[in-house]
Amino acid sequence: MKIHLRYFASLREQLGSAETVDLPDGLTVGQLRDQLLARSAAYAQALSRARAVRCALNQTLCKEDARLTDGDELAFFPPVTGG
């Protein structure tokens, strides 16, 4: 399945604005975050479990146990973002 990732605020500065990833079916947001953490030092720092990072699945805030499906858009952003 293909998932469209978007990054906002400080995460955008570290990782870029967007990317599309191919994933096996049935992953959760948390499992995807774990995969991203393992990608590189930049991802590990930006998406660290020690940092407060919010997620929105298809423009609705979600928890990390939300299940991903083909074509979803998942956004990561810090809890406070500017306008």
d(CA 4, CA 57): 10
Domain housing 32: 2-77
Which residue(s) pair with 61 in the sheet?
Answer: 56
Token reading at 63: 């928890």
Residue 82: inside a domain? no
CATH classification at residue 17: 3.10.20.30
Is pTM beyond 0.85 here? Answer: yes
Q: How many domains does the chain have?
A: 1
Rounded Cα distance, 70 and 81, in Å: 28
Is residue 83 situated within a structural domain?
no
Tens of pLDDT, residues 3-60: 999 999 999 999 999 999 999 999 999 999 999 999 999 999 999 999 999 999 999 9
